[in-house]
A and B are shown apart, each in its own frame.
Chain A
Amino acid sequence: MMTRIVGTACLGLLALATGCDGWKTPSGPPASLDAELRQSLGRSGVVPIGPTPLQAPALVDLGQALLFDKILSGNRDIACATCHNPVSHAADGLALSIGTGGTGLGSSRTLGPGRQFIPRNAPTLVNAGLGAFYLFWDGRVSGLGFGAFQTPAGAALPPGLPSLLAAQAMFPVMSREEMRGVPGDRDRFGNPNELAALGDSDFVSVWQAVMRRLLAIPEYVSKFTAAFPGTSTSALGFQHAATAIAAFETQALTRTDSPFDRYLQHDDAALTVEQKRGALLFFGDKARCSSCHGGPLLGGQTFANAGVPQLGPGTGRGAPLDFGRGELFNQDFYKFAFRATPLRNVELTAPYMHDGAFPTLEAVLHHYNDVPRALREYDASQSQLPPALQQMYHGDDATIAAVLTNLDFRLSQPLHLTDGEIGELVAFLKSLTDPSAQDLTSLIPASVPSGLPVQE
């Protein structure tokens, strides 16, 4: 009897043991926004931003003067800060910027007689010093972090530039539309514009000419001497000026204390539920924003043809269209592609996209929700564009077809975002705003060494 019990028991135990594996029943977990979001952030390579390098005060002081001084422009009528004005969060609030010859500041700035819009929107300088690999909308100034830069100047770029941002600062003075002017221009005092007389590819001569202007002003000489104490005046070049401008931008315009940045520093309460939901969409598979706007800067490292309506005078061989990065040598693949901009403080820098086609974040997201349809239905008259620019919308079928032909594959199908989800995405994008970036007017100097007006 006992033997039977033991035997039966052993058989029963064996049967039980072999049948147990299928009993485990995986099931759907209750969602936790923070756990999900932190996993998504990890997948997108989003990490906190470390401190920017401390800049020498004399260098920052010189850079501030240069950024706000119109003496850098051929006609002495426009400074870097005209289109990157602290009042407009280091941008200009315009869809397409207005360069030399224009009057006014910010969204009230108007074209000068015979002048044309600059083909692209002025991106904000806030957080320009965070170390992006590409600068300008087409990324024509690039550096991979190893001290070598690719720029339109090629070998003419002087050595010794400490950062990509400094390299970038070499080029606005070269642009005729932005700062240099066209042959025959006279400056604000009626004097000939000597910068405009130089050739477009003569980078060195233009930079030297600008430096002659600067070093003719004693206050600049003393500022340069303080900023570069080991460099004689004769050895100063425009690369030193660009270095100072970049130093000021880095020191004064780095704003990375947004709620999202605090969330990255493990403060779960820094974001609201709506913002976290938006972030999950942003970094998740539905909206897929982070496929371009990923990494620590939330963008700035890739290019995409997002099917943005073509506005403005255009540039290069594509004019009146703008081929974007596809305009660069050997970059045909990137036709109509532009840099996916870093998104910190994006709330403050409307209008959006490379040509300012969209006045609000909501409009941008509605566009992304169904790009082919949105492009076909784009109405320039409803986009808060100035009338002159509305006339420069290239909405013909051929242009739209050309843009859609090269549309980024990630945007070829609708995202099917609901209005609620778009609202959550907007809420998340607003969490990228550093409160200290709301008002940058304290950065405006009372005067500049040239004596030219600062805010006009």
Chain B
Amino acid sequence: MTSRVVSLSVVLLTVAGTAPAQSIPIHTVPLVPADQFDIFPSDALAMGEVSIAVPDTLHDPLVNPAKGARLRVARLFSSPTIYGVSHDAGSGRTLPMGAFTAGAAWYGGLALAVQQVDASQPSSSFFNPPLPFTGGLGSTTPDLGPGPLSHGNTLGFAMIGRKLRESGLSVGAGAIKKKLRAVDGVDLLYPGSRRVDQSGATVAARLGVLKEWAGDRSFEAVVLHDRFKMTHDVTFVDAFWDPGTQQFFQRSRLEHNRDFTKQWGLQVKYERPLTASGWRIGWLATANRTSQPNTPSSDLLNIPQDPGRAAAYELGVGVSRILGPSAFGIDVVYQPIWSTTWAVAETPTATSRGDSIPVGGRTVDNGFHFSNGLFRMGVSREVALGPLTKTAALQLGLVVRAVHYALAQQDHIEVVTRRLVESWVEWTPTWGLSLRFPDLELRYRGRVTHGTDRLVATPDQIIAFADQRPLGFFPPPGASPTLDGVHVVTHQFSVSLPLR
């Protein structure tokens, strides 16, 4: 288990947490984002999520609406998905249902999903300590019961596209709207809070084109725009000293935080057969421009980060080979990212140099430079089950994400520059099994992500209760948040019914 004091901001955590394809995630700590929104069915996700040179008929229309042109038949689908974070540090369940239609020229799709996300309460009771200093609590403390253990989200997806047969061109547009009351892990950003009430919505819009040539070559481009807007109403219960009773009491404090992110992006991809022996190669380039007018304010986040912006790029190459019943694919992606965040003074702030930063002036500038790498690899093997129309397929894969960044922090209050280099690796084995029948496709896929952490609180000292108070000693309520290693397991069962 890796444990260390949390000291860094979670820059763009929420973007990462809701990242659909083409959004390049940015983490400054290996906080587990869970798989809350990885809910739609896929052929290739169990193969280590290889995607550059491996077609995924089920999933591709969700990524690039223009690729709905490859749908041959209409189909209904559902993909119940559950995920869980080890140490009881979070879990969720999602039930998506949807349909794709495929006409001669037009095609489209609709999907709805309901989701239940459990609070990410760690097993340690110190995260929300059991309210020490119990003397007299009842008379002055309002009812501050913990929030509900689960919250519901709803998601809607719509996609429409048109094939222009003469030119081999397809265009499509799609959007996902999520009405959110829970983003996994957000409650952990507020250690010591009594409850965190989230509300907000996110919209992810995609406009895509697909150009296909003879010889199985294709070029695609997607323009994306994501808006993420959440509010966090955080209730803390603060201890205070009551001079009259010589005891600690508690009172509530409500913090209203906003988390607002906008993102624009462009992704282009080119694929072609490499040889006649089943090899394919693809190239990928992505650019994201993200701005965060607001991010959550939390005592946990040592680096002030409100607001910020990031420019993220992605260059990737992938190869695959399909040979009879076997398939194999590899993606290698490099992600250079430049991110800046800063904090502004809310009141005139004296510096250690003796001058003053006016209201609105920057107190801290953080410059991050990431050099992230992504390696995806997967294999698949089909086995005929009796007649050729019935097959079973086993899939295995691995995703390795290496994060490396350098931070230069200019603290204009203390008039110092600090530098930090941080790196870690996350790896995710994937596996899957699918059964195909003429009128039914059943899939199971699973994945487990290692190398990520989740926040837990470590008590600094023993919490004593009022009636056990030793003379001359005050029980401290403090607890230091630390990162502890966890793994995230996701299971998805999907059923797809071709409508012939």
B166 within 8 A of A: no
A451 within 8 A of B: no
Select the stretch in A4-12, A76-84, A404-412 that faces chain B.
A4-12
B238 within 8 A of A: yes
Among A5, A28, A35, chain B packs the most CB atoms within 10 A around the CB of: A35
Which residue of chain A has the shortest Cβ distance to B418 in the bound complex? A30
Q: Within the complex, what minimum Cβ distance (angstroms) separates B115 from chain A?
A: 30
| Binary contact readout B447-481 vs A (1 if CB under 8 angstroms, 0 otherwise) | 00011000000001100000001011111111110
B216 within 8 A of A: no
Q: Within the complex, what minimum Cβ distance (angstroms) separates A31 from chain B?
A: 7
Is A49 a contact of B345 with CB atoms below 8 Å?
no
Q: Which B residues lie within 8 Å of A3 (CB)?
A: 326
A368 to B429: give the CA distance in the assembly, Å.
58
Q: Within the complex, what minimum Cβ distance (angstroms) separates B402 from chain A?
A: 7
Is B352 a contact of A274 with CB atoms below 8 Å?
yes
Q: Which B residues lie within 8 Å of A42 (CB)?
A: 460, 476-479
Within 8 A of B (CB), among A431-449: none
B214 within 8 A of A: no
Which residue of chain B has the shortest Cβ distance to A301 in the bound complex? B472
B123 within 8 A of A: no
Is B350 a contact of A272 with CB atoms below 8 Å?
yes
Of B5, B300, B427, B460, which contacts A43 at CB under 8 A?
Answer: B460
Q: Which A residues lie within 8 Å of B213 (CB)?
A: none
A38 within 8 A of B: yes
Is B425 a contact of A24 with CB atoms below 8 Å?
yes
B88 within 8 A of A: no
| Binary contact readout A17-38 vs B (1 if CB under 8 angstroms, 0 otherwise) | 1001101111111111111101
Among B324, B423, B427, chain A packs the most CB atoms within 10 A around the CB of: B427
Is B471 a contact of A53 with CB atoms below 8 Å?
no
A101 within 8 A of B: no
A235 within 8 A of B: no
Is A35 a contact of B326 with CB atoms below 8 Å?
no
B398 within 8 A of A: yes
Is A43 a contact of B476 with CB atoms below 8 Å?
yes
Q: A10-B379, A43-B476 are in contact. Are A273 and B471 (CB under 8 A)?
A: no
Q: Within the complex, what minimum Cβ distance (angstroms) separates A411 from chain B?
A: 17
A28 to B7: give the CA distance in the assembly, Å.
9
A318 within 8 A of B: no
Within 8 A of B (CB), among A268-298: 269, 272-274, 294-297
Is B4 a contact of A26 with CB atoms below 8 Å?
yes
Select the stretch in A63-71, A90-98, A126-134, A174-182 that faces chain B.
A126-134
A38 to B300: give the CA distance in the assembly, Å.
10
Select the stretch in B57-65, B77-85, B243-251, B285-293 that faces chain A.
B243-251
Q: Within the complex, what minimum Cβ distance (angstroms) separates A35 from chain B?
A: 4
Q: A20-B400, A53-B244, A131-B245 are in contact. Are A43 and B409 (CB under 8 A)?
A: no
Q: Which B residues lie within 8 Å of A302 (CB)?
A: 472-473
Is A5 a contact of B321 with CB atoms below 8 Å?
yes
Q: Which B residues lie within 8 Å of A6 (CB)?
A: 326, 328, 379, 381
Is A143 a contact of B240 with CB atoms below 8 Å?
no
B144 within 8 A of A: no
Q: A20-B451, A133-B471, A301-B472 are in contact. Are A29 and B7 (CB under 8 A)?
A: yes
Which residue of chain B has the shortest Cβ distance to A49 in the bound complex? B241
Within 8 A of A (CB), among B420-435: 420-425, 427, 429
B439 within 8 A of A: no
Q: A13-B429, A21-B451, A47-B248 are in contact. Are A33 and B414 (CB under 8 A)?
A: yes
Q: Which B residues lie within 8 Å of A24 (CB)?
A: 2, 30, 423-425, 451
A332 to B152: give the CA distance in the assembly, Å.
64
A45 within 8 A of B: yes
A222 within 8 A of B: no
Q: Within the complex, what minimum Cβ distance (angstroms) separates A179 from chain B?
A: 26
Is B477 a contact of A28 with CB atoms below 8 Å?
no
Q: Within the complex, what minimum Cβ distance (angstroms) separates A45 from chain B?
A: 4
Give the contact-size bracket for chain B: 35 or more
B239 within 8 A of A: yes
Q: Which A residues lie within 8 Å of B398 (CB)?
A: 13, 16-17
Q: Within the complex, what minimum Cβ distance (angstroms) separates A288 from chain B?
A: 15
Is A273 a contact of B352 with CB atoms below 8 Å?
yes
Q: Which B residues lie within 8 Å of A144 (CB)?
A: 246, 469, 471
A434 to B420: give the CA distance in the assembly, Å.
39
Q: Which A residues lie within 8 Å of B424 (CB)?
A: 23-25
Is B240 a contact of A296 with CB atoms below 8 Å?
yes
A2 within 8 A of B: yes
Is B245 a contact of A145 with CB atoms below 8 Å?
yes
Which residue of chain A has the shortest Cβ distance to B461 in the bound complex? A43
Q: Which A residues lie within 8 Å of B330 (CB)?
A: 9
B209 within 8 A of A: no
Is B425 a contact of A297 with CB atoms below 8 Å?
no
Which residue of chain A has the shortest Cβ distance to B380 in the bound complex? A6
Q: A9-B328, A43-B460, A43-B461 are in contact. Are A50 and B414 (CB under 8 A)?
A: no
Q: A10-B396, A21-B451, A130-B243 are in contact. Are A47 and B429 (CB under 8 A)?
A: no
Q: Within the complex, what minimum Cβ distance (angstroms) separates A4 from chain B?
A: 11
Q: Which B residues lie within 8 Å of A47 (CB)?
A: 238-241, 248, 477
Is B321 a contact of A296 with CB atoms below 8 Å?
no
Is A294 a contact of B451 with CB atoms below 8 Å?
no
Q: Within the complex, what minimum Cβ distance (angstroms) separates A196 from chain B?
A: 35
Q: Which B residues lie within 8 Å of A164 (CB)?
A: 246
Is A26 a contact of B2 with CB atoms below 8 Å?
yes
Is A145 a contact of B299 with CB atoms below 8 Å?
no
Q: Which A residues lie within 8 Å of B396 (CB)?
A: 10, 13
A205 within 8 A of B: no
A21 to B7: give the CA distance in the assembly, Å.
21
Within 8 A of A (CB), among B212-270: 238-249, 251, 253
| Binary contact readout B407-419 vs A (1 if CB under 8 angstroms, 0 otherwise) | 1010001100010
Q: Within the complex, what minimum Cβ distance (angstroms) separates A256 from chain B?
A: 9
B274 within 8 A of A: no
Is B240 a contact of A273 with CB atoms below 8 Å?
no
B196 within 8 A of A: no
Is B351 a contact of A273 with CB atoms below 8 Å?
yes
Is A45 a contact of B476 with CB atoms below 8 Å?
yes
Q: Within the complex, what minimum Cβ distance (angstroms) separates B463 from chain A?
A: 10
Is B480 a contact of A52 with CB atoms below 8 Å?
no
Is A273 a contact of B423 with CB atoms below 8 Å?
no
Is A50 a contact of B427 with CB atoms below 8 Å?
no
A266 within 8 A of B: yes
Is B461 a contact of A49 with CB atoms below 8 Å?
no
A35 to B402: give the CA distance in the assembly, Å.
28
Q: Which B residues lie within 8 Å of A49 (CB)?
A: 240-241, 243
Q: Which A residues lie within 8 Å of B349 (CB)?
A: 269
Within 8 A of B (CB), among A114-134: 129-131, 133-134
Is A30 a contact of B477 with CB atoms below 8 Å?
no
Q: Which A residues lie within 8 Å of B345 (CB)?
A: 269
Which residue of chain B has the shortest Cβ distance to A39 in the bound complex? B480
Q: Within the complex, what minimum Cβ distance (angstroms) separates B396 from chain A?
A: 7
A295 to B397: give the CA distance in the assembly, Å.
55
Is A131 a contact of B421 with CB atoms below 8 Å?
no
A163 to B244: give the CA distance in the assembly, Å.
8
Which residue of chain B has the shortest Cβ distance to A128 in the bound complex? B243
A43 to B418: give the CA distance in the assembly, Å.
26
Q: Which A residues lie within 8 Å of B351 (CB)?
A: 273
A44 within 8 A of B: yes
Q: A30-B7, A130-B241, A273-B351 are in contact. List 18 more A-B contacts (CB 8 A).
A: A25-B424, A26-B4, A27-B420, A29-B5, A29-B7, A30-B303, A33-B413, A42-B477, A45-B476, A49-B240, A50-B251, A131-B244, A143-B246, A144-B469, A266-B253, A294-B474, A301-B473, A301-B474
For the complex of A and B, list the 4 residue pairs with the smallest distance between their C-beta atoms, beginning with the closest.
A42-B478, A29-B7, A145-B246, A296-B241
Pick 13 A–B contacts, CB within 8 A, sort by A: A3-B326, A25-B424, A28-B420, A35-B299, A45-B474, A45-B478, A47-B239, A52-B244, A133-B472, A273-B350, A273-B414, A296-B240, A303-B472
